[in-house]
Amino acid sequence: MKVTPILYSRQLANKLYQIKIRIQTNGKTTFVNSGIEIEKNHWDKKTSRVKELKSIPHYEKQNSEIDRLVKLHKSEDIEFENDPYNFEKFISYFSSQIDILKAQEKYNTYRKYDVVKRHLKLFVKLNPEYRRINVKFIDGFKKHLFGYQKVKVNGFHSYAKVFRNYLNKLIATNDPEFRPEYNPFYNYKISEEKVYKEKLSINQIEKIGNHRKFRSRTKIWDARNLFLFAYYSGGMRIADLITLQWRNIRDGRLEYTMRKTKKQISMPLNERLLNILWFYLPKFSFSGSPTLHSGTRVGRNVKIPLIFYYEEEEDNEDKDFNMDKDYNKDEEYDEDEDYDEDEEDDEDKDLKELAVPKLNTDHPVIQKLIEMQLKCPNDWIFPAMNGFKYKNQIELNKKIQSATYVINKNLKQISIDCEIGMKISTHIARHSFSDNIRQSGENIYNISKILGHSDIAVTQKYLKSLDQNSVDESLNKFYNQ
C-alpha cells in the first residue's frame, strides 16, 4: 500500500484546491478528501505538504492533519492480533451501554439509541465487507440511510451523532484497538438542515378556544383542552401535562417536576387554567360552572381570550376508540432541547409578574381543588391516563407515548375544523407560548424561568429558532422606508 498526500487538480468554486490522500493498493487507486483547501501556490509538491511560510496561516495545523491521515490509512495495512476499530467489538460495547440506560428506566433515550444500533447492524449485515469503522464505513452507512432507509439529512445527523458519541466513549476507555489518533470522526463533518418551528398567533389560539362545535367529553374535546392548558401554563410539555395529578395543585398554584430536566416548576394558577380544571373535577355538572371574568393578561401585551363554549353532552363519537388498541405507530412525543437554581422567592416573584394576580383561596374552583388534593392526591387529572397503573418508568413512558399519539391525531382534526392552516401537535403549544410572550416584550430572564431552561443561552437559541417575524419586520421596514 502506498499513501500519498496530493493537491487535487480541479479548482473549487472558491478558487481554492483540495488536498486529498491518494491510496494505491493492489493496482487500485482511491482518493480520500482531507477537508483542507488551500491556494495552489501554497502546496509544496516535493514534500507533499503545505509550505512552511509565515505568510500562510495555519500551515502547522494543516500539515499535522495531513500526517494524521497518512498514518491512519497506512495503519489499515498493518496486521493486528485483533482488527483495529472492529465493528463487532464496538456494537458489543454500544449494546452494553444501552442496557445500562434501560436499567435506569430512561425509556426514550435507550429506545432512540436502540434504533441507531439496529440500523448499524442491518447496514453491516447487508454489506459484510465493512468490518472496520473508518471514514469509508461512515460514508457507506450514510449512503445506506439515504438510499435504503430513505432518511433525510437531519435523520443521518441524529444517527451519526449517537454513533460518534459512543465511539468516543469507547475510545475514552483506552482500549488499545480504539486508539484516538485513528478516530474516523475526527475531521468528519455531520451536516444538519435548519428546521422551521411552527407556532400559532394569539388569534389562532383564540380560534381554537372559541370553537363551538366540539362535543363535550369526547377525545377531540379533551385534546383541545390539553392543548390550551399547555399554552396557558407557560408552554408545558405534553409528558408533564398528561401525568399531572391532583397533588400538583396546591393553594392556587401549579407545582410539578419537569420529566425532561428534573427542574421544579411552581406557578400561580390563572383563570384560564381554572376554567379547564373545573371540567375535570369528579361528578361535574355543566350547570354548576363558576363565572369567570375575561380580560386577563399575561406579560405586557399578551391577552388571554375568554374561552370554552360547551354544548350539552351527546353520545360519545369516540366511544369505540381504544387508545392502546388503535395505537399502532412509533411516534414519540416531541421535546425541544432543554437541558441553576435560584432562590425560591426570586423565582416566585418572576412568575407572579408574568401571570394573572394570585387568586383568592376562596375562589370556588380552588376550594374544590384543595378538596381533591386531600382526598385523592395521586389520581390523574386528565382522562388520557384514567385508571392507568404502572410498575416502572418504562411502562409509564410507553403509555405517555401512546396517549400523545391519540392527542396529536385529534389536534390534526382540530386544525382542520378551526381552519388554522397548519398541522398542529402538542408541542406547538410550547412554541406558540414562547414566541407570543417574546413578542410581548417580556425580558428573556423571565421567559427562561417560565420555560424551565437551565440557562438563558438555551432560551436564546430556542427563541431564535422561532423568530421569523422580526426578520420580516426588518425587511418590510427597509423596503418601505
Torsion of CA 277, 283, 285, 286, to 10 degrees: 40
- Packed helices 107-126 and 87-103: angle between N→C axes, nearest 10 degrees: 160
What's residue 355's pLDDT? 35
pLDDT recorded at residue 279: 86
Residue 363 is predicted with a pLDDT of: 67
Q: Answer whether 212's CB lies under 8 Å from 166's CB.
A: no
Tell me the residue type at 339: Y
Q: CA 34 to CA 5: how far, in whole Å?
A: 9
Is the distance from CB of 270 to CB of 232 less than 8 angstroms? yes
Residue ranges of the chain with per-residue pLDDT less than 50: 78-82, 284-358, 471, 474-475, 478-479
Cβ of 378: how many Cβ atoms within 10 Å?
7
Sheet holding 17-25, edge to edge: 2-11, 17-25, 28-38
Going from N- to C-terminal start, the domains of the chain cover 2-75, 87-182, 202-479
Which pLDDT does position 449 carry in this prediction? Answer: 66
Based on the number of CB atoms within 10 Å of its own CB, is 463 exposed (0-12), middle (13-18) or buried (19 or more)? middle
Per-residue pLDDT of 264-275, as tens digits, reads: 889 888 888 988
CB 154 within 8 A of CB 120: no
For residues 187 and 34, the answer to whether their CB atoms sit within 8 Å is: yes
Q: How far apart are CA 226 and CA 224, in angstroms?
A: 6
In the block, cell 469509508 appears at: 136
> What are the backbone angles phi and psi of residue 273, rounded to the nearest 5°?
-70, -40
In Å, how far from its chain's centre is CA 473? 28
- Give, to the nearest 10 degrees, the angle between helix 444-451 and helix 456-464: 100
| Biggest alpha carbon–alpha carbon distance for the chain | 92
pLDDT in tens, 209-231: 988 888 888 999 999 999 999 99
